[in-house]
């Protein structure tokens, strides 16, 4: 165990809540890393599914540790796992996602060359219900003032996690990664995106994100807390917030031009065809 501790550079933190059917894929992707100095800390966030509990009981070995807690959400689970991590660098990984075998080998040397580097991430692709590259805008502080462009599976230093107080508790329901990255950026840290697809994001019919996005009241409450927590960051990057708002407005206006109701009104032949289809449907 002492040898594992000395070799460990990266701690992969995997929160798990009833994810027994997919967590093996996440763990296997870590085991396939070409970089050997890693450990996995799985945090069982109060799973109730017996299959998941039985699977987690079989995971522990010299490089995989299991921590159990009552259900308190991913932000708390990640903080719990990181508090027990041995690695200098932290990589959060959701139980249903995977990483490329080269992700650690690409990321770790970047930190070692730049002491002010705070976040390292990469390009990503979707799998599952949707496939193809996940076309997130490239990072800039002004883009971050409008919305998050860095997914949760990015590397950071455990020492910075200590400095900022971890993932904030007010993000229990969602967007805890956005709130945490803003805290890191407040330290004046730099961000680097590896120009390779090294992260695989699983798209499912229902996820925590879709549930969160459907609750407007909770969304407003959480984003307002993020704004208050990072007021100086938003103040210093306010142009990015407004550029994002105006760009979003322009997109909505452009989409409205192609609204089917507008097309029916403006083009006579389409209006005639639409009336015939509607008459047929009513029969």
Model pLDDT for residues 119-173, shown as the tens digit of each residue: 999 999 999 999 999 999 999 999 999 999 999 999 999 999 999 999 999 998 8
| Domain co-membership, 182 together with 256 | no
CB-CB neighbours of 165 under 10 Å: 11
Q: What is the mean pLDDT of residues 83-99?
A: 97
CA–CA distance, 231 with 241 (Å, rounded to integer): 12
- Report yes or no: 10 and 89 within 8 Å, Cβ to Cβ: yes
Q: Give the model's pLDDT for residue 69.
A: 94
C-alpha distances out from residue 167 to 55, 161, 180, 226, Å: 27, 8, 5, 11
| Domain co-membership, 259 together with 210 | no
Residue 147 sits in a domain whose CATH number is 3.90.550.10
Q: β-strands 89-92, 155-157: how paired? A: antiparallel
Structure tokens at 90: 């932290």
Model confidence at 2, pLDDT cuts 50, 70, 90, reads very low
Q: Does residue 31 register a pLDDT over 80?
A: yes
| Domain co-membership, 174 together with 251 | no
**Domain end point (choices 236, 252, 268):** 236
Contacts of 178 (CB under 8 A, 6+ apart): 147, 148, 171, 226
Number of domains in the chain: 2
| Bridge partners, residue 68, by sequence | 44
Q: Does residue 66 register a pLDDT over 60?
A: yes
| Domain co-membership, 266 together with 154 | no
Structure tokens at 281: 């449907």
| Domain co-membership, 152 together with 203 | yes
Q: What is the mean pLDDT of residues 29-40?
A: 96
CA–CA distance, 91 with 35 (Å, rounded to integer): 13
Q: What is the mean pLDDT of residues 245-265?
A: 67
| Domain co-membership, 254 together with 273 | yes
| Domain co-membership, 224 together with 123 | yes
Q: Does residue 263 register a pLDDT over 70?
A: no
Nearest to 260 by CA among 250, 270, 251: 270
Average pLDDT, the chain: 87
Residue with the two structure tokens 């040397």:
109
pTM tops 0.95, yes or no:
no
| Domain co-membership, 36 together with 109 | yes
Structural domain of residue 111, as residue ranges? 2-236
- Report yes or no: 137 and 208 within 8 Å, Cβ to Cβ: no
DSSP 8-state assignment for residue 265: H
In the chain, % of residues over pLDDT 90:
67
Q: Dihedral through CA 187, CA 190, CA 195, CA 198, nearest 10?
A: -30
Structure tokens at 106: 């690409």
| Domain co-membership, 198 together with 79 | yes
| Domain co-membership, 262 together with 222 | no
| Domain co-membership, 262 together with 207 | no
């Amino acid at each position: 165990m002492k040898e594992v501790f000395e070799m460990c550079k990266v701690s992969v933190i995997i929160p798990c809540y009833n994810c027994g059917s997919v967590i093996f894929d996440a763990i296997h992707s870590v085991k396939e890393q070409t970089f050997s100095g890693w450990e996995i800390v799985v945090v069982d966030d109060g799973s109730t599914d017996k299959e998941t509990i039985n699977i987690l009981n079989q995971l522990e070995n010299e490089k995989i540790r299991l921590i159990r807690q009552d259900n308190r959400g991913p932000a708390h689970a990640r903080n719990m796992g990181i508090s027990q991590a041995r690695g200098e660098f932290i990589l959060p990984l959701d139980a249903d996602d995977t990483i490329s075998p080269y992700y650690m080998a690409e990321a770790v040397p970047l930190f070692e060359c730049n002491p002010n580097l705070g976040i390292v991430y990469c390009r990503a692709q979707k799998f599952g219900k949707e496939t193809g590259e996940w076309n997130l805008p490239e990072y800039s502080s002004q883009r971050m003032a409008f919305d998050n462009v860095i997914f949760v599976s990015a590397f950071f230093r455990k020492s910075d996690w200590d400095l900022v107080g971890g993932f904030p508790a007010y993000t229990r329901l969602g967007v805890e990664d956005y709130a945490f990255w803003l805290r890191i950026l407040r330290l004046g840290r730099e961000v680097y995106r590896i120009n390779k697809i090294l992260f695989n994001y699983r798209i499912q019919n229902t996820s925590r994100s879709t549930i969160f996005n459907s609750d407007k009241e909770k969304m407003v409450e959480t984003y307002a807390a993020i704004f208050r927590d990072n007021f100086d960051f938003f103040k210093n990057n306010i142009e990015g917030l407004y550029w994002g708002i105006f760009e979003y407005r322009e997109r909505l206006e452009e989409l409205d031009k192609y609204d089917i109701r507008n097309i029916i009104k403006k083009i006579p032949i389409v209006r005639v065809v639409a009336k015939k289809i509607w008459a047929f449907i009513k029969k």
